[in-house]
Amino acid sequence: MRAQDPLALSASELAQEVYAGNLKAHDVARTYAQRVENLHRELNTHIEWDKDAVLNEVDKQLAYIEAARYAQKPLPLAGVPIAIKDNIMVDGQNVSCGSQLLRNHRAAYDATVVQKLKAAGALIFGRTNMDEFAMGSSCENSSYGPTVNPWNRRHVAGGSSGGSAAAVSARLAPLALGSDTGGSVRQPASFCGVVGLKPTYGRVSRYGLVAYGSSLDQIGTFATTVQDTALLYGVIAGHDPSDSTSANIPVPPTSLGPSSSLKGKRIAVIEEFMRDGLDEDVRTHFDQALQVYRECGATVETVSLPHLAHCIPVYYIIATAEASSNLARFDGIRYGARSQKPGLNLRELYTQSRSEGFGREVKQRIMLGTYVLSSGYYDAYYAKANRIREMMRREIQGVFEQGIDLIASPTAPTTAFELGQKTHDSLAMYLSDIYTLAANLAGIPALSQPIGLCRKGLPIGMQLMAPAFGEETLLRSAQVYEQQINGTQKFRPRI
């Protein structure tokens, strides 16, 4: 049999070939390791990459894969490299969250998702760059420098999971994990031309994820195809007793068979999202994608969700309030690098350690969150934001209760913007997540898939949202579109 190039195979194909013995997992690992070695500095995709250390750990996993093959134990991700965002614990590896405050913090255990990946035969392949503590929409807030877009190095990769998105886009790994608090998987997936999935809140364990906004955070996935997305989601989803917010609801099989019809499916477009601020290239490709869905049998209609106009203020009040609480532990005493400035009393030590360790955006959000939680302002801001959040959730739920199967929108109002373009305009940066916030606030699953390239050659994404625990509908519908346009070969940067 002719040797196959691991880089030319999808994650699903890689796993099948390795498990069947047609490809050696060792060869897959070395091929991908060399590609990361060649490109990760140029793109700044990884915070932590040590080729020899990665391959040494891979060697231990290879023995497990061979033993499982011999015992005929199924391994859905046999020999598949997967990159991990730098806020997810991997035992023995640094977990810095893109911050100098945690630059020497070493994880003492595996996150639940990492345990599941290893049990499925996956190879853990480096730690990817991110906005510090997941606070950002461009991956420019990392204390290790920005990740650049593989399609155009003068443009951002998106954030906060920009390193994971760029790594999959540039084929430094066929799969990657990120975290999504307000669009941090879907927006960079759109900017980098890959598929990004944010599952239902509670569907994937957050045990081992460093918290930003605890009621919003969800571990999500990056892949080049919907089939690979379903494969990875099927491995990491499920109840976890270690996570009190984990949903104890069975996960249906996620194996996607070939399908070309969406007959009977109803898709809603949000009227408020199609107004001012939407780039014309994005609008044109979104309309063309909707037409493909119509040709596949779906009906498309418009709905009004007026409360979604308040997404930005509601999200940033709730998220920063929760961040203020979650990040209080990083004080140089309990967690985090301690200031070495001499002669400090305890209060000064806390202040100096946090001042030295946190970046500007993190400090800004902590201060905002502390303010909205303070005496006299809690009811005026935080409590009111939670009431409006509940109105949004009910509004979205009401659409699904009327028989709508999916809600569609552009993933982002623009394509990837240039590096530095929005770093001094916080509001403009926040608005890049305007279409993705609703899914986190409502706790529903959402997926971004590539639908074309703009005139500048940058990817454009389309977002689909489904009812809670409706990932199967989401994935099957997205796959029909992908098969219809044969899109898996269109969204690979020349790198």
Catalytically active residues are: 85, 160, 184
- Give, as one character, the DSSP assignment of residue 45: -
Dist. CA 204–CA 234, nearest whole Å: 10
- CA 266-271-276 angle, 5° bins: 145
Cis peptide upstream of residue 161 (ω within 30 degrees of 0) = no
Query: Distance between CA atoms of 143 and 145, rounded to whole angstroms?
Result: 6
| Beta carbons of 448 and 196 less than 8 angstroms apart | yes
Q: List b or e across 254-282, with b for residues whose CB sees 16 or more CB atoms inside 10 angstroms.
A: bebeeeeebeebbbbbbeebeeeebbebb
Distance (Å, whole) CA 386 – CA 392: 10
Structure token digits, residue 237: 């989803």
- Say which residues have a Cβ less than 8 Å from residue 284's Cβ, sequence separation at least 6: none
Residue pair 447/230 in contact (Cβ under 8 Å)? The answer is no
From the number of C-beta atoms within 10 Å of its C-beta (0-12, 13-18, 19+), residue 60 rates as: exposed
Strands 446-453 and 123-128: unpaired
State how far the Cα of 404 lies from the Cα of 433, in Å rounded to an integer: 24
DSSP run (H or E) holding 269: strand 266-270
